Structure 1
Amino acid sequence: MKRREPTDPEDPMYGASSSSTSPHVGDHECITKKPKRNDYEVFLSFRGEDTHKGFTDHLYIGLVNAGIHVFRDDNELYVGEEIGPELLCSITQSKISIPIISKNYASSKWCLRSFGDAINAHKDDLDEMVVNEWEKALEEVSSLKGWESDKVYDGREGELVKTVVRYVMSELKRHFELITPKQLMGIDDRVQQVMSLIDAKFYDTGIIGIYGFGSIGKTTLAKVLYNKLSSHFEYLSFVADIRETSRHKGIECLQKQLINDVLRNPHDVSNVDGGIGFIKSRFTSKKILILLDDIDDKNQLNALAGEGSWFKAGSIVIVTTRNKSILDETVVRHVYQLNELPVNQSLILFSRYAFRKDSPQIDYWNLSRDVVSTTGGHPLALEVIGSFLRGKPKKVWKDTLKKLKKVPDRKVQKTLRISYKALDDEVQQIFLDIACFFIV
């Protein structure tokens, strides 16, 4: 089917809705059609003659500027393809559909047409089942909460657009929460402790540092906090594994990621100073939530967050690091030390990996307690060793326990060695001297 000119009132550029149906299109056809750019996040359904150059255009631009992929009109369709099937595929694959219901919305066969006379006008041309589906769709829409443009903000559509964009961003964030381990232990108390450091009304900009040994759970705690706070922010960025990325690709690469996450628009950074200047100039009007994970040098923090004045009041920067001195030397406002798990929580976490329940089997109880005591409440050790011992006979447990009393698990050793290497030379020597006292 050839593309029609947009002057045609039935053209899809004038809108479509999730209630539109076609007896010739199904899920199979959506799948078998050639691959296209159809990963839409939002589908706008509207009557072009009413709102195409007004509210719909403003909303579309607002959503796109926020980095949201929006299906609006036939600019998204390929020449020569059937418009109906493509529209239906786009509707199905969009995460959010926004019907913009105007006076003549029901007169287009591509829109939600369930308004009295409009339905009756089409009854002679359409299957009864299709008409019934339209009527059902209208009932569903009428039960949804919406906005009336002339009653919200005294009719100021610009403010309404901002509200809709914020709402859409909040809804989309639910689909993109950071992944955290399924087995979490003691996390609620720790989250509550850190949240108590944050201004509940988000008036002040806060940089919060979380420090502790490697793989003790800093990143997991920070991710849970990030997911919990994300609904309060329009601009977000999670910069992961900063220590390794900075070492191999440079701080400029991290600055580019931060800029792209916040502005939703790539920007080349030729040097660190240039990146700092750009971030300071473009981020001051934005309320931002940033997670900077695994920082091991104060220059990294200075280049990415610098000081609170870089961001709009109410912004929050969460920093994780193995080295507390980095937090002491910068403008971090609050510092939280993440310690090992207590014995009771360690046993529960270990049991979840070793037995897939919250407590050991009776005949493995003493062995489990002994194994847990060798980990020192280290979550990674509990996970690695518990997973290894799951389903193994007691002989393997006993042999493993003997080894653990002499040398920790290799994976845990490797992780802890990173924390050791991050220490200054003088501190490393002090650490080794103290360690000698524990050698029998």
Structure 2
Amino acid sequence: MFRSEDTRHSFTDHLYKALVQAGISTFRDNDEIDRGQDLKPEIEKAITESRAYQRRNFNNFVLPVFYQVDPLDVRNQQQSFAIETKDGAECSIWTKDNVSTWKASLTEVADLSGLVLFSGSETDFIAKVVDTIDCTLDWKLVSTLAHLIGIETRGESITSWLNDEQPSENFLANCGMGGGGKTTLAQHVYNSNKHKFELSSFLQDIGRDHRQPHDLLGLQKQLLTDIIRGKNIRVSNVSEGTSKIEETLQTRKVLIILDDIVENDELAALLGKKGVHTQSKIIITTRRLDIYAWFGSILLEFYNLVNH
């Protein structure tokens, strides 16, 4: 939620746009609120309905952003944050009880782990705020079955490979016949490890969804949305989509799961041929056992469910 007259058309506006583009629902009040007056009902509603509302009541989180503000001033209520009781008819809300409550709230906020910007790039700072919120809320967990016995053990070797920052290969193929649990294992591995990467994407049932050229274009747009963090990805054809994917994969540390690859053209369209960031990891599930031939000179780790 945003409310600031001083930064409404600068920092706050830029941060709001970045959050929305990242797919994070964000409320911004566009009307003035008199200083010292109670929050409007619509703002109260937005706060209580947000996923970050009241960490102590719902085990969620609050992220203070100190923009051109010293947290010490907030904690100690000094400088522009100094508040005291006031007398007079126009100062009826500045009672001892209210001021004590406000001071306690400021102290609590300042004691939270937040982000501070005094100088430096606002663009980089905004990206850090968005990344922090996105990672904490963990929007992109994929649905998995509950109470899967032995799933952690089955995924140990894959997790070890994901944790290796200097692997001999960036690709892992999970091959096996249908019904063997390839997708379920991939879902578990993804949920357990996505936080270790800058960006992540899970494309499920590719073989089922890829029927026409426009279906492949749709998969590209979904992948680009995940690894670029944009809501309005403009791609007019598969060739253009592959070019954008290649450019992004070379510069960002990403985790990508391509589930149920059936044809070579699916890999070519979704990964390109220019390689990936040295710390990126790509996991492919497929029923095809000849997948080695598709990759040419690219090293490929082979994980066979039959042996696990």
Please classify the TM superposition score into its range, dividing by the shorter chain length. Answer: 0.7 to 0.9
Say yes or no: does 1:48 pair with 2:5: yes
SS of residue in 2 equivalent to 1:194: helix
Of 259, 262, 272, the match for 1:306: 272
CA–CA distance in structure 1, aligned partners of residues 256 and 115 of structure 2: 31
- In 1: Cα distance, 2:67 partner to 2:224 partner: 38
Measured in 1, the distance between the counterparts of 2:148 and 2:284 equals 20
Instruction: Name whichever of 287-296 and 321-330 sits farther off.
Output: 321-330
Q: Which amino acid aligns with 2:305?
A: L
Deviation at 1:245, TM superposition (A): 0.5
Give CA deviations for 1:151-171 in whole Å, capped at 9, x if unaligned.
Answer: xxxx32434333322211211
Q: State the partner residue of 1:381.
A: none
How many angstroms apart in 2 are the aligned matches of 1:99 and 1:72?
16
- Corresponding residue for 1:142? 110
What SS does the corresponding residue of 1:243 show, helix, strand or coil?
helix
Which of 308, 316, 319 aligns to 2:281? It is 316
User: CA, structure 1 residues 120+100, in 2 after alignment: closer, same or farther (shift >3 Å)?
Assistant: farther
**Can you list the C-alpha shifts for 1:90-145, whole angstroms capped at 9, x where unaligned?**
1122223544456899xxxxxx9x77742524963267765554344224213312
Distance 1:54 1:267 in 2: 25
Shift of 1:56: 3.5
From the two aligned structures, give the one with the greater helix fraction: 1
Structure with greater contact order relative to length (CA < 8 Å, sep ≥ 6): 2
Question: Which AA in structure 1 matches 2:110?
Answer: S
Q: Distance in 2 between matches of 1:202 and 1:67?
A: 32
CA shift, 1:52, in A, is 4.0
Give the 5 Å matches for 1:366-377.
Answer: none
Offset at residue 64 of structure 1 (A): 3.9
The share of aligned pairs that are identical, in percent, is: 31
Residue in structure 2 matched with residue 188 of structure 1 by the alignment = 152
Question: Gapped runs of 5+ residues in structure 2?
Answer: 32-37, 53-61
Q: Matches of residues 87-102 of structure 1 in structure 2 within 5 Å?
A: 87-96=43-52, 97-101=62-66
1:55/1:244 CA distance change after superposition, 3 Å: same
2:30 to 58, 65, 74: 74
Report the Cα offset of residue 83 of structure 1: 7.5
Cα distance between partner residues in 2 of 1:87 and 1:196: 46
- Which digits, 9 at most, give the CA deviation of each residue in 1:156-199, with x for residues without a partner? 243433332221121121x5411111121221122211122235
Q: How many Å separate the matches in 1 of 2:171 and 2:141?
A: 21
1:120 counterpart SS class: coil
Give the 5 Å matches for 1:11-410.
43-44=1-2, 47-49=4-6, 51-52=7-8, 55-74=11-30, 84-96=40-52, 97-101=62-66, 117-121=82-86, 124-125=92-93, 131=99, 133-150=101-118, 155-158=119-122, 159-173=124-138, 175-201=139-165, 206-247=170-211, 250-263=215-228, 264-307=230-273, 309=275, 311-330=276-295, 331=298, 333-339=300-306
User: Which residue identity lines up with residue 333 of structure 1 in the other structure?
Assistant: L
Specify whether residues 147 and 271 from structure 1 end up closer, same or farther in structure 2 by C-alpha distance, changes over 3 A only.
closer
Structure 1 residue 253: Cα displacement:
2.4
Secondary structure, aligned partner of 1:257: helix
Task: Provide the aligned C-alpha RMSD in A.
Answer: 3.6
Distance in 2 (alpha carbons) for counterparts of 1:339 and 1:255: 31
Residue 422 of structure 1 corresponds to none
- Structure 2 distance, partners of 1:291, 1:305, is 11
The amino acid that maps onto 2:193 is: L
TM-score, normalisation: structure 1: 0.55
Number of equivalent positions = 281
CA change 1:327–1:103 in 2 (3 A) is closer
Residues 205 and 314, structure 1, Cα contact 8 Å, conserved in 2: no
Q: Distance in 1 between matches of 2:168 and 2:134?
A: 22
- Residue deviations 1:215-240, cap 9 Å, x none? 21111111111112211233222111
Unaligned runs of 5+ in 1: 1-42, 76-81, 106-111, 342-440
- The CA distance in 2 between the partners of 1:101 and 1:65, in whole Å, is 22
Report if the CA contact (8 A) 1:204-1:313 is conserved.
Answer: no
CA distance in 1, matches of 2:175, 2:287: 5
Instruction: Name the larger-Rg structure.
Output: 1
Asked if structure 1 preserves the Cα contact closer than 8 Å seen for 2:203 and 2:219, the reply is yes
TM-score where L is the length of structure 2: 0.75
